[in-house]
Amino acid sequence: MVSLPGSTAVAGIGATEFSKQSGRSELQLAAEAVFAALDDAGLSPADVDGLVTYTQDTNQEIAVAREVGIGDLTFFSRVHYGGGAACGTVLHAAMAVATGVAETVVCYRAFNERSGRRFGQPDARIGGEPSSQGLEMSWHVPYGLMTPAAWVAMFARRYMHAYGVTSEDFGRVAVAMRRHAATNPAAWFHGRPITLEEHQASKWIVEPLHLLDCCQESDGAVALVVTSAERARDLRRSPALISAAAQGAGAGQLMMTSYYRDEMTGLPEMGVVGRRLWEQSGLGPADIQTAILYDHFTPFVLTQLEELGFCGRGEARDFVAGGGIEIDGRLPVNPHGGQLGEAYIHGMNGIAEAVRQIRGTSVNQVAGVRNVLVTAGTGVPTSGLVLSAE
C-alpha cells in the first residue's frame, strides 16, 4: 500500500512572463516554463521521466520532450475538464512518483490565448457533435447559451436569488484580487488596482456578470516539478509537500451547466474534493493559512468558500465584505492576484503561488504559512491540493 500524503513534493516551479502578446508559440512557451522549473529545482532535462498536462493543451508530451531535450519517458498523462485539471495534473504526477512508475514528473500548461488561439469562444458546432458532449450541448447551445460566462451567469443569478447576494458582493472579490495583483510585479495588472465603483461601471458581459467579474485572457505557461519528498529535500529549493490531492465530480455533473440538479446554489464537485482533501491530510479549514481559489468568475469564489467549510451556506458575502479574503484577513485568498489579477493560465500559476507561500518567498507573503489549499476550475469535474511545509 502506497501512502500519498507527504510522500511526494513539488520541488520546482517555473513560468514565462505573462503577457497579452507573447510573440511565441505555445510549444515555445511550454518549453520555457519547463526549463525554468527544472532550473528552480536544480535538475536537468535528463532527470525527467514523466510529463503531465491537460487534454486541452495543444502541446503533445513527446513534442515538449523533444523541445526540452528530455529522453525516455516512463509515464505521461493528460487530465480532462479544462481548468478543473489544474490540481489533477499534480495528483497524477504524485501518484506516478509514489508508486514508482516515474521518479521525476513535470506538469505543464501553455496558453497563447490572447494573441493566438482564443479560448472559450462560442462554437455552435459543438451542439451537433455525435458524442456525449454534443448531446449535452445540444440542450442549450442552439438557444444562444454558448460561453462559460453565460453558463456561470445562470448559476450566479440563482445564487443571488437564494441568498440575497448582489453584484457588489461579487465585485468585492474582484477588488481584492486586483489589490493583491497590484503589488505583484509578475502580474499583468501590477500597479492597477480597481475600486468597487469601477467594477460596477464596467460593461456587462452576461448579466449579472460585469467585465471585471471575468478572468483575463493571457499568454504564458507554467510548469511544476514533482518528485519524492526524500529526493526533493536534496534539491535546490525547500519542498512543498503534497499533503493531499483529489479529483471529484458531483451527482448529475455536466460541463458548467449542471442546472438539472435538485439544488443549484452550490458546487457539489468541490464539496467532493474538499471532503477528500480534509480526510487525506487530516487537516480542516482552521488549519489553512492561505487559499488559492480558482477565480475564473467571481461568483464561484464565494461558493467555494462555502463548499470547503470556511463559512456556512449563504455566508460568503459577509466573509468577503468583512475583509476575510484580504492579505491580513481570516483566510487570505490568492495573494498573487489570481486569474483575475495575475494571469489566466488555467490555474497552474495558482499552484506556483502556493509553493512560494510554503517557501516563504511570495511577494505578498502571508505570515506563518504551514498549509495552503489550492483549488482547480469550478462548474466542471474538478481537483484540489493541500501543500504543506515540512
What is the number of domains present in the chain?
A: 1
Q: Write the pLDDT tens digit of every residue in 229-277.
A: 999 999 999 999 999 999 999 998 988 888 888 888 999 999 999 999 9
**Is residue 281 domain-resident?**
yes
Of 22-31, 82-91, 372-381, give the lowest mean pLDDT range: 22-31
Task: With a cut of 90, say whether residue 35 has pLDDT above it.
Answer: yes
Q: What confidence score (pLDDT) does residue 121 get?
A: 61
Task: Give the per-residue pLDDT at 130.
Answer: 80
Over residues 10-30, mean pLDDT:
93
Cα angle for residues 366, 367, 369 (degrees, 5° grid): 80
- % of the chain beyond a pLDDT of 90: 85
Between 109-123, 157-171, 185-199, the lowest mean confidence (pLDDT) is in 109-123
Tell me which of 81, 159, 163, 344 is the catalytic residue.
344
Q: What angle do CA 274, 337, 199 make, to 5 degrees?
A: 105
127 within 8 A of 138, measured Cβ to Cβ: yes
Rounded to whole angstroms, the Cα distance separating 205 from 153 reads: 9
Average pLDDT over residues 100-104: 97
Catalytic status, residue 294 = yes
Residue 273: CATH number of its domain: 3.40.47.10
Q: How far apart are CA 371 and CA 142, in angstroms?
A: 45
The CA R_g of the chain, rounded to the nearest whole Å, is 19
Bigger pLDDT: 372 vs 115: 372
Residue 18 belongs to a domain: yes
The pLDDT-based confidence of 23 (bands split at 50, 70, 90) is confident
What is the band of 55 on the pLDDT scale with cuts at 50, 70, 90?
very high
pLDDT for res 1: 46
Q: Which of 54, 81, 163, 294 is catalytic?
A: 294
Q: How far apart are CA 335 and CA 354, in angstroms?
A: 9
Q: Which whole number is the average pLDDT over 131-137?
A: 81
Binned at pLDDT 50, 70 and 90, residue 120 comes out as: low
Strand bridging mode 371-375 / 382-388 = antiparallel
Find out whether 381 and 80 touch, Cβ atoms under 8 Å: yes
70 pLDDT above the threshold of 80? yes
Instruction: Examine the pLDDT at 126 and tell me if it is beyond 80.
Output: no
What are the strands of the beta sheet with 382-388, ordered from one edge? 75-79, 50-54, 104-112, 219-228, 8-15, 240-248, 382-388, 371-375, 290-292
Query: Does residue 89 lie within any of the structural domains?
Result: yes
Rounded Cα distance between 232 and 240, Å, is 9
> Where in the sequence is the domain holding 95, given as residue range(s)?
8-116+219-388
In a domain, 124, yes or no: no
Residue 31 domain flag: yes
Angle at 138 between CA 136 and CA 141, to 5 degrees: 110
Q: How large is the average pLDDT for residues 42-64?
A: 97
In a domain, 142, yes or no: no
Q: Is residue 176 part of a domain?
A: no
Looking from the CA of 249 toward its CB, the CA atoms found within 13 Å total 12
- Look at residue 158 and tell me whether its pLDDT is greater than 80: yes
Measured CA angle at 166 (ends 160, 212), to 5 deg: 110
Least confident of 16-20, 170-174, 198-202, 226-230: 16-20
Is 240 among the domain residues? yes
